[in-house]
Amino acid sequence: MTTANEVVNGSAAPAKVSYASDQEVRWCPGCGDYSILKQVETILKEQGKPKEEIVFISGIGCSSRFPYYLDTYGMHSIHGRAPAIVSGLRTVRPDLSVWMITGDGDSLSIGGNHLIHLLRRNVDVNVLLFNNEIYGLTKGQYSPTSPEGAVTRSTPMGSVDHPFNPLALCKGADATFIARAMDRDPKQLREVLTKADAHRGTSLIEIYQNCNVFNDGAFEVFTEKATKPFHTLFVEHDQPLVYANGTKGIKLDGMTPVIVDLTPGEALPDDLWIHDQHDPFKASILVRLFDDQDHEDAMPRPFGVFFISSRATLETKLNAQVALAKEKKGVGDLDALLSGERTWTIA
Amino acid sequence: MTTANEVVNGSAAPAKVSYASDQEVRWCPGCGDYSILKQVETILKEQGKPKEEIVFISGIGCSSRFPYYLDTYGMHSIHGRAPAIVSGLRTVRPDLSVWMITGDGDSLSIGGNHLIHLLRRNVDVNVLLFNNEIYGLTKGQYSPTSPEGAVTRSTPMGSVDHPFNPLALCKGADATFIARAMDRDPKQLREVLTKADAHRGTSLIEIYQNCNVFNDGAFEVFTEKATKPFHTLFVEHDQPLVYANGTKGIKLDGMTPVIVDLTPGEALPDDLWIHDQHDPFKASILVRLFDDQDHEDAMPRPFGVFFISSRATLETKLNAQVALAKEKKGVGDLDALLSGERTWTIA
Amino acid sequence: METPTRTKTVEERRNVVILFAGDSGDGIQLTGSQFTDTNALFGNDVSTFPNFPAEIRAPQGTMAGVSGYQLHFGSVELFTPGDQCDVLVVMNSAALRSNLATLKPGGTIIANSDGFDAKNLRLAGYIDNQDPLTDGSLANYTVHAIDITKMTRNALADTTLGMKEKDRSKNMFVLGFINWMYSRSLANSEKFLEGKFSRKPELLDANKKALLAGYNYGDTSETFTTRFEVKPAPMPKGTYRSITGNQGIAIGLIAAAQKAGLDLFYGSYPITPASDILHELSKNKNFGVKTFQAEDEIAAICSAIGASYGGALGATASSGPGIALKGEAMGLAFMLEIPLVIVNVQRGGPSTGLPTKTEQADLWQAIHGRNGEAPIPVLAASSPTDCFEMAYEAARIAIEHMTPVILLSDGYIANGAESWRFPEAKDLKPIKAPFAKPRAHGDMEKFLPYLRDENGVRPWAVPGMKGLQHRIGGIEKEDGTGNISYDPLNHEKMVRLRAEKVRRVVEDVPPLDISNGVDRGDLLILGWGSTYGAIRTAVNEMCAEGNCVGHLHLRYLFPFRKELGEILSHYKRVLIPEMNSGQLRQLIRAEFLIDAQGLNKIQGMPFTSAEIKAGAMQMLKDVK
Amino acid sequence: METPTRTKTVEERRNVVILFAGDSGDGIQLTGSQFTDTNALFGNDVSTFPNFPAEIRAPQGTMAGVSGYQLHFGSVELFTPGDQCDVLVVMNSAALRSNLATLKPGGTIIANSDGFDAKNLRLAGYIDNQDPLTDGSLANYTVHAIDITKMTRNALADTTLGMKEKDRSKNMFVLGFINWMYSRSLANSEKFLEGKFSRKPELLDANKKALLAGYNYGDTSETFTTRFEVKPAPMPKGTYRSITGNQGIAIGLIAAAQKAGLDLFYGSYPITPASDILHELSKNKNFGVKTFQAEDEIAAICSAIGASYGGALGATASSGPGIALKGEAMGLAFMLEIPLVIVNVQRGGPSTGLPTKTEQADLWQAIHGRNGEAPIPVLAASSPTDCFEMAYEAARIAIEHMTPVILLSDGYIANGAESWRFPEAKDLKPIKAPFAKPRAHGDMEKFLPYLRDENGVRPWAVPGMKGLQHRIGGIEKEDGTGNISYDPLNHEKMVRLRAEKVRRVVEDVPPLDISNGVDRGDLLILGWGSTYGAIRTAVNEMCAEGNCVGHLHLRYLFPFRKELGEILSHYKRVLIPEMNSGQLRQLIRAEFLIDAQGLNKIQGMPFTSAEIKAGAMQMLKDVK
Ligand SMILES: Cc1ncc(C[n+]2csc(CCOP(=O)(O)OP(=O)(O)O)c2C)c(N)n1
Ligand SMILES: Cc1ncc(C[n+]2csc(CCOP(=O)(O)OP(=O)(O)O)c2C)c(N)n1
Ligand code: SF4
Ligand code: SF4
Ligand SMILES: [Mg+2]
Ligand SMILES: [Mg+2]
């Protein structure tokens, strides 16, 4: 980027400086957003990347206020359009570290199309999808991830919309990095964030986030001590799918996943499903473990990194074409462009 | 629909009447759209449904001119928005037979979000997605389904966008009916159309359509006698996946599909993949058979009905709520509404 | 229940303005609306103005977190929530600091002293522990500092509730106290609580206790020697209710659909301050109302177009940014010539702007914000109750003239409430949908979907109607047949036919008449939308003071009624107050070539009548 | 090659208008543009008008399928493609029927007789085999019926091409013949063919053969006794090229980015007639141009916003329906106050309207089509060459004033070509981006992203600049800091500061001056956009005939330059011709309170100078 380079004068920031901005955080007390903000700030600190080389782009929603709270570059844009803004920004600035903050309404309702196109184009950005299964900022209407039957301000008789399975949708859009985390498990969240940041391409992280004002407890079964072990499945690359404190595992019967009982301590049956984060077919099934947790013998909900594949990013390919064009035709000569191919002269 | 019913006075149309309108068809000579129009008209004839009870809604594009050519009700709307128009129409008119006509740009570029929301909500409509892997009406720019590297008017150096796998995307959006067909195989197209029309819910049919002016031969390997058998795989419910005139089949190695050689006449190995159109997991893999046909030992491209599942339609659920509300609260009394719950009187 | 009463002096008041203010979490909106209700039921005229921040719960105790509810009630007819307040009820320091300016000199402050501890004072920006309640800075006001928190807790001592829950009842204590202060019975509030907490007996009990405690506190405490009384207002005979603008719009749309015998389909995407229309409508499915929360504003309007195409009344609403997204689809509806109601509940702009504040800056967008020649009738509601009438009218025009219609409201009247002498269903204007005549059997003549009647209106042929199949779209159409046509002269003809059809709409609306003041004279104040109350109040005062001023308020904004020019010519000067930079003014000047002046306020806050008056008096000076 | 020549009489012509017409598949556009090129290279002034249907290939032989290319070339300066044509070249019956009206009385018709068989005649709507070529109905014209199909086939008899391919060379036969008719050498056309078919020797050979055959046919056939000659035009000294409006815009944007030292990012979604800008730019990646075909218009403008935020020049273009979708994002760019160029190549509306036809009906949308108070500078190009200048200016203003800028063009000048004396890079106005000053090391003072300079312009701090991190967005901002602010007075202040910044833009553009005619007198014709050529031609003629008429053309449409009022006051009457219902007229009347009249044509076709003249003469009558 000609000028940016001229005027930019970055240099490594002193480690462990604070990445918080001077703005007071304005989320409701108890909102899950606080935890996510904290985890992000923590890993930024750990990495110690210069603040000026980091950009946060968000849409509109409670979650999208996020950029104001970090002392990096940031844009709080318009509802649903962050992916498009990110695409333009990265195309001209492949040198930056770009993060996108969005909500379930912002990215899956009004912004759904931009999100799937961002994923297929594989623009290099870390997408943090704050899923609270509700519209927070507009005070409690259901969202595309709210369960069917959800009684909200816009659905007094219960929602009639079948909700999206966000990760299945993203997989269908050929995402190259898919993961799930939650506000209430800071450690796992930081791990996932770190892996996401390491991935070159669009890293999509769905983060379950509690909206304690309009949808309190939506993810309780996954976050509460008592129920967490039996409803969550933390997947690790190359490791078998085991949960419930080692008392249960998952194997595949043909293409259908089934639950098997395990005896802790004993050797694991060797037909257990071994998680392979590079297997696109397995990933297509893994995202389908999406049972309603109220049903008994429901499959647990997977967390962690589901899938990683490497595919050249949009900006890499586009800038390669620019370089190639310059190489082939020579760096553009404005006068040649102005005169075009055929001219005539009046003397 | 109060009034519609009052004023509507339908009655079965005499069988075998022509469903063509009086408008001259304005596609380029040789365009694949002609064949699709013909197949649709044929099955409409066969069904003999009253013309006035059929509606075609389209967006914008060459393909979207379709409604003008049939003597049914029809709307040629705006670019990408047909799914939203259909959703409103069906909600108030569950009695009609509704078809949606769209192109790869119309439904997957500008209209992508409306399409995936239509699918998750499962509105009862037959969606005919004319995929010619190009923008026809605007004279030849690449589309979201154009292969990477495609040289078009907007990509002289080749497209840098990774294309959508349309059926994978639709599956990810929880479509309840997914199928693929092509303009050059009228019989199979009619079969698929018939099944789609029978399905209650959104029936998504991707139809490979040749744009002989801007993207001629895009699907040649699938349509030409010589190559067709080796690059196409016609799936039938309960039948094994066999192609290449019975010389090849597909089985699953774990979750990974692999090609096996077969000897025509001999009994089929029993580990062949048996197509089950009701298995969501298998469908997730089937849509992933999407290899570039130029690679040798590429998997063949599947055609036919991939997946069918039954889920209540949006309009059914919504109208049920309306009925329930009337039953519970009694049919709305306008005066009661006007006065509200608390009033006072000035005498 | 009967409420205890000790004799204390009672003073009568003509009208009173109370501003309740506190944290977003303090339940201020509830306290305010409850007391409004009680007074309305009692027979006062009421007008309210809720005012809250964009954050759901901005940090407790901060200025950013302050939520307010202003109530004006009186024994006389009222048109605004009041310029300044007589009583300011504040739950904490920030609430006091951010609202003191609106309190009349000598006004009363009722403060929750618990909200004035060091922390709260600091958060509110009172530096080096200066405390307004004690430092004498409020000398010119009557201050009642009450530890509402403590008293509420005491009142609920014997309940099993946790501290947090107990404190949530603070607002009921306030409500009880205010009820006592204005000599109101608690009956209505108790009835409300019984409804709200029917399934939570514990909370019901607690809230009732707090309510009563507040009442009794006023009654027993020696510090309060006088109560006030506001007699019922001499309003026109009839039955009344209180209504907000958004409720008015919802009910207006339902009423119109019912009168036309159509189902109402409402496609919308949530946005402040329009969302309540969706919430309201979704509660009325038993009227055949179908609400569809679309994936975005484009889908919202398109779904409504689909519904209208199917023979229902399609409607959609949003606010500025969302309306911006609907422009292309409005063009389609305009070309299809089908009924469609588009409501814009305006908020502060541009872009995301000030989501919870009010403004009138989307008028140009409504009239000019589309590609091509696409005139659409634009209506504007002038008050909460007028929202009902204008929504009804918008729907009537859309149906009978087969056209999209835009209705403008704004955050001020959308959330504000006033008393409404509601009509009876049978008295509402009838609405007749111009459905195409069913085909006589065997009639083979080609149906002409764009054959217009004397008003330029085309027939509404709905799918299912036998023999009337036809195809329509957004491409230019041949006159009559509706077939695609690129013919140059046909295009110009169609552009003019569509414009003429829309022009005819104004022949079907009430003639213009001045709202109040003189019908010819020195100055005309020309207004539109929510400035109505402030202008009317100002003009009444000015006339009372002997000025020659008139007030004309446009509710049908576009096209203009032909007599408008005539009326304008009856005044020496024309002043146009707007919460924008002068958008109506621009249209008036272009149409009538008169040097209309503007009075413009772009602060996210409504005009006070005093501001209107000042601007008008200034202009009158120039006249003389 | 040297072209054979027999002596025939040669007549000189001052200027000639030829209209080539045929099926969409006949290669008419190529024939036309090639002959344009040849004449331009020869030194004539040229002006063209391609005119085609919305369908890609409407059914062969039908009226709907007719595609036309009108060329005006002369030995004098030209401003339009001509009102009527001297020569009409038609490849079939439909082409004749749909264009005969534009042929001058006594004009020449060159018809491909093969296109007049029974089928073609019927398709064209000539009933009961009436044949215009033979039934004498063309008595007032000189008709040359040539079986172009047969002659082309004969010429290619010995090639290995199939019949279909042979017939594709018909247009080259025509081109060859026309070259002969106007005494032009085939050299340029052959050069072009060699380039086009460099990889297809067979086709190259065939096309050259057909070209030569056409030429020789004219030369040898006895029927043609005279050729014509059009001498070079006495144009200002310099080097010229021919350019279309869309090329002009593409080049203008690249030039501006280069002069500012920025990369150009172009985010766009294809739409007629704007797509060619995308096509053109995508060919120039070696200038650091990055083109992004977005998923829709919203993503297109938002990607451009992202690019500008990143320090590049972001630009986007579309036509009416697509621009309608960009309104909300324009509001964001306006609030962010970053450079952005938005081009609207207008087409017939409303809605999908007439995609391939021209119109000027999006002016209101450009100026008023957003929510809230969001004034954006609006420029309009008046000719193909002016598209370059205005695109450059739009970019310069966007960058130096940190604001989105809208540039209006339309289908007529977008596809039309004219000769252009192109500038040298060094002579282009310099452009300086207002980048924020880099932080001195250790400078800890808070950076103020909204601290304005004397022009009200804020500093452009691009990610990567150390110490200048800041957050911006669409919510109202506090003056200076840019932090979120709901403060009422701050909002009004910011609204006025942003408006003032935009107003200042006009102090940075050339003062207004009349284009031609008298600078005070009876009538001023005030125009904008593509009506320039027709008005200029009309005014020249009228002045020559002794009328007191002047022509002022606005290229910077909004805000108005302050001297505009003054200039308007120098004329008794003001006439505003527009291809809409009077959108500029409305703005002029509102601003200056003058009774400006309109001359309005809404037919998807440009004004002819005759139409302008007629309208103006009518008005002059009224003056006297
Ligand atoms: C164009 C537009 N439409 C609608 C809105 C109103 N709006 C703001 S945020 C939001 C959705 C918020 O939900 P989500 O994206 O899940 O974010 P959350 O508040 O839950 O974090 C909506 C509908 C808007 N600001 N702009
Ligand atoms: C809002 C809007 N944007 C862009 C266009 C221009 N446009 C018309 S059709 C089309 C895409 C056509 O491609 P596709 O949907 O694949 O249909 P096809 O012509 O190939 O059948 C585009 C970009 C438009 N008409 N409206
Ligand atoms: S409304 Fe919900 S999501 Fe929004 S800040 Fe409050 S708790 Fe968080
Ligand atoms: S351009 Fe292509 S898709 Fe369009 S009509 Fe012609 S052949 Fe068919
Ligand atoms: Mg949410
Ligand atoms: Mg296509």
Per residue in A274-319, pLDDT (tens digit) is 999 999 999 999 999 999 999 988 999 999 999 999 999 999 999 9
- Say if CB D121 and CB D129 are below 8 A apart: yes
pLDDT in tens, D539-586: 999 999 999 999 999 999 999 999 999 999 999 999 999 999 999 999
* Chain A residues in contact with C59 (beta carbon < 8 A): 24-26, 29
In chain D, which residues have their Cβ closer than 8 Å to the Cβ of A22?
Answer: 446
User: Of C230, A167, C177, nearest to B172 (Cα)?
Assistant: A167
The two tokens of residue A95 are 């040198």
Question: C44, exposed or middle or buried, with CB in 10 Å at 0-12, 13-18, 19+?
Answer: buried
- Rounded to an integer, the average pLDDT of D166-195 is 93
- Chain A residues within an 8 Å CB radius of C277: none
Residue A83 near chain C (CB below 8 Å): no
Indicate if ligand 1 lies below 6 Å from the C-beta of A300.
Answer: no
Name residues 104-133 of chain B within 8 A of D (Cβ): 109-110, 112
Instruction: Judge if the beta carbon of residue A155 lies within 6 A of ligand 1.
Output: no
Computed over its alpha carbons, how large is the radius of gyration of chain B?
Answer: 23
**Average pLDDT rounded to a whole number, residues B100-116:** 98
Nearest to D357 by CA among B68, C487, B154: C487
Measured between beta carbons, the chain C residues lying within 8 angstroms of B346 are 43, 232, 235-240
The answer on pLDDT for A179 being more than 50 is yes
Contact yes or no for C371 and D320 at CB 8 A: yes
- Over the stretch B46-96, which tens digit does the pLDDT of each residue have? 999 999 999 999 999 999 999 999 999 999 999 999 999 999 999 999 999
Residues B316-327, mean pLDDT to the nearest whole number: 97
Residue pLDDT, tens place only, C533-584: 999 999 999 999 999 999 999 999 999 999 999 999 999 999 999 999 999 9
Distances in Å between the Cα of D450 and the Cα atoms of A97, D409, D437, D458 are: 24, 32, 14, 5
Per DSSP, A144 falls in state T
Please choose, from the candidates D578, D533, D411, D523, the residue with its C-alpha nearest in 3D space to the C-alpha of residue D83.
D533
Is residue D315's pLDDT more than 60? yes
Task: Give the number of the ligand closest to the Cα of residue B131.
Answer: 6
| Mutate which of C55, C57, C269, C319 for ligand 1 pocket (most atoms within 8 A of beta carbon) | C269
- Let me know the angle formed at the C-alpha of C320 by C317 and C324, rounded to the nearest 5 degrees: 90
Which token pair is A13? 């920031």
Tokens of B76: 């040629």
Alpha helix segments (H runs only) across chain A: 2-7, 33-47, 82-92, 104-105, 112-121, 166-172, 186-198, 220-223, 228-231, 280-286, 314-329, 334-339
Task: Reduce the DSSP state of residue A278 to 3 states and report it.
Answer: coil
Asked if residues D36 and D73 have their Cβ atoms less than 8 Å apart, the reply is: yes
* Digit-coded pLDDT (tens) for C355-369: 999 999 999 999 999
Q: What is the mean pLDDT of chain D?
A: 94
Say whether pLDDT at B39 is over 80: yes
Gap between the Cα atoms of C516 and D149, Å rounded:
80
Q: Give φ, ψ of C334 to 5 degrees.
A: -65, -40
Alpha carbons A164 and A169: distance in angstroms, whole number: 7
Whether the CB of D306 sits within 6 Å of ligand 2: no
Q: What is the pLDDT of residues C276-293, one digit of tens each?
A: 999 999 999 999 999 999
In terms of CA atoms, which chain A residue is nearest residue D232?
A: A346
pLDDT tens, position by position, D381-417: 999 999 999 999 999 999 999 999 999 999 999 999 9
Q: What are the structure tokens assigned to D183, written together?
A: 């005494």
pLDDT at A234: 98
Is the Cβ atom of A132 under 6 angstroms away from ligand 3?
A: yes
Hey, are the CB atoms on B76 and C241 less than 8 Å from each other?
no
**Among A33, A104, A143, which is best to mutate for testing ligand 3, by the most ligand atoms less than 8 A from CB?**
A33
Tell me the residues of C at the A interface, defined by beta carbons under 8 Å apart.
Answer: 54-60, 62, 64, 269-272, 275, 278-279, 282-283, 285, 291, 293, 295-297, 321, 351-352
Interatomic CA distance for residues D607 and D575, integer angstroms? 14
ipTM of the complex: 0.94
Tell me how far apart the alpha carbons of residues C153 and C163 are, in angstroms, rounded to a whole number.
8
**What pLDDT score was predicted for residue B16?**
62
Question: How far away, in angstroms, is B278 Cα from ligand 1 center?
Answer: 37
> From ligand 1's centre to the CA of A133, what distance in Å?
12
Evaluate the omega torsion of the peptide bond into residue D273 and state whether it is cis, within 30 degrees of 0. Answer: yes
Containing H/E element for C218? helix C201-220
Tell how far the Cα of B173 is from the centroid of ligand 5, in angstroms. 19
**Chain D nearest C-alpha distance from C113 (Å):** 26
Proportion of chain C above pLDDT 90, given as a percent: 83
Identify which ligand lies nearest to the alpha carbon of A105. 1
CA dist B97 and D37 (Å) reads: 55
Record the pTM.
0.94
CB D525 within 8 A of CB D539: yes
Query: Is the beta carbon of B130 within 6 A of some atom in ligand 2?
Result: yes
Closest residue in chain B to residue C234, using alpha carbons only: B346
Query: Does the pLDDT of residue B184 top 90, yes or no?
Result: yes
pLDDT of residue D624: 66
C241 and B340: CB-CB below 8 Å? yes
> For D607, what's the count of Cα atoms within 13 Å in the CB-facing half-sphere?
30
What is the predicted pLDDT for the residue at C127? 82
- Mean of pLDDT values over C300-305: 98
Is the CB of residue C56 less than 8 Å from the CB of residue A137? yes
| Nearest CB to A171; choose among B172, B255, B311 | B172
Q: What is the mean pLDDT of chain A?
A: 93
**pLDDT score, position C54:** 74
D2 against B141, higher pLDDT = B141
Overall average pLDDT of the D112-123 stretch: 91
Average pLDDT value for residue range A186-212: 98
Residue C390: CB atoms within 10 Å: 27
| pLDDT grade for C55, boundaries at 50, 70 and 90 | confident
- The residues facing D103 across adjacent strands are D85
Q: Is the CB of A277 under 6 A from ligand 1?
A: no
Cα-only R_g, chain D: 27
Q: What is the mean pLDDT of residues C140-155?
A: 92
Mean pLDDT for B210-235 is: 96
Identify which of B15-24, D22-31, D88-97 has the greatest average pLDDT.
D88-97
Q: Is B135 in the pocket of ligand 2 (CB under 6 A)?
A: yes
Contacts of A55 in chain D (CB under 8 A): 463
Q: Quote the percentage of chain A above a pLDDT of 70.
A: 95
pLDDT mean across residues, chain C: 94
Q: Is the dihedral of CA D326, D329, D335, D341 positive or negative?
A: negative
Question: Does residue D270 have its Cβ closer than 6 Å to ligand 2?
Answer: yes
Hey, is A160 helix, strand or coil?
coil
In DSSP terms, B274 is beta-bridged to B240
* Residues A128-177: tens digit of each pLDDT: 999 999 999 999 999 999 999 999 999 999 999 999 999 999 999 999 99
Q: What percent of chain C has pLDDT over 70?
A: 99
Whose CA is closest to D91, among D141, D34, D26? D26
Q: Residue C303 and residue B335: Cβ atoms within 8 Å? A: no
**What is the C-alpha separation between A120 and A129, in angstroms, rounded?**
17
Residues of B in contact with C238 (CB under 8 A): 345-346
Q: Under an 8 A CB cutoff, do B213 and D296 touch?
A: no
- Is the pLDDT at A3 greater than 50, yes or no? no
pLDDT surpassing 80 at residue A16: no
Is pLDDT above 80 for C624? Answer: no
Q: Which residue has the higher pLDDT, C2 or C222?
A: C222
- Tell me, what's the pLDDT at B195? 98
pLDDT at D245 over 70: yes
pLDDT tops 60 at residue B7 = no
The partner residue sitting opposite B138, judged by closest CB among D270, D321, D351, is D270
Residue A104 pLDDT more than 50? Answer: yes
In terms of Cα–Cα distance, which of D418, D385, D503 is closest to D48?
D418
Mutate to test the pocket of ligand 3, among A62, A66, A102, A143 (most ligand atoms within 8 A of CB): A62
Nearest CB among C43, C286, C471 relative to B331 is that of C286
H/E stretch holding D210? helix D201-220
Residues in contact with B231: Cβ distance below 8 Å, sequence separation at least 6, in sequence order: B221, B222, B293, B298, B300, B301
Whether residue A256 lies within 8 A of chain D, CB to CB, comes out as no
User: What residues of C are in contact with residue D320 (Cβ under 8 Å)?
Assistant: 371-372
| Residue B55: closest C-alpha in chain C | C463
Which of the four pLDDT bands, split at 50, 70 and 90, describes residue B1?
A: very low
In terms of DSSP H, where are the helices of B74-135?
82-92, 104-105, 112-121
The reply to whether omega before C438 is within 30° of 0 (cis) is: no
Q: Which of B25, B110, B210 to mutate to test the interface with D (most CBs of D within 10 A)?
A: B110
* pLDDT, position D609: 95
Nearest residue of D to residue A314 by CA position?
D292
State how beta strands C66-74 and C15-23 pair: antiparallel
Mean pLDDT of chain B: 93
pLDDT band at C2 (very low <50, low <70, confident <90, very high): very low
Q: State the pLDDT at residue B96.
A: 98
- What angle is formed at CA C613 by the lines to CA C609 and CA C614, rounded to 5 degrees? 120
A109/C296 Cβ within 8 A: yes
**Residues near C255 by beta carbon (within 8 Å), at least 6 away in sequence:** B334, B337, B338, C388, C392, C425, C428
**pLDDT value for A4:** 38
Mean pLDDT, residues B297-316 taken together: 97
The residue assigned the tokens 């996946």 is: B241
Q: Name the residue among B54, B88, B347 with its Cβ closest to that of C304.
A: B88
**pLDDT of residue B4 exceeding 70:** no
The closest alpha carbon to D328, from C601, C578, A80, belongs to A80
Examine the pLDDT at B155 and tell me if it is beyond 90. yes
Q: How confident is the model at residue A14 (pLDDT cuts 50, 70, 90)?
A: very low
More confident: C235 or C244: C244
**Angular region, D76: left φ>0, alpha ψ -120 to 50, beta rest:** beta
What percent of chain B stands above pLDDT 70? 95
How many interface pairs between B and D have CB atoms less than 8 angstroms apart? Answer: 67
Cα separation, D318 vs D302, whole angstroms: 13
Q: Which of B111, B113, B318 sits opposite A160 (nearest CB)?
A: B318
pLDDT level of residue D223 (50, 70, 90 thresholds): confident
- 3-state SS class at B29: coil
Closest Cα in chain A, distance from residue C524 (Å): 40
Residue B287 confidence (pLDDT) above 60: yes
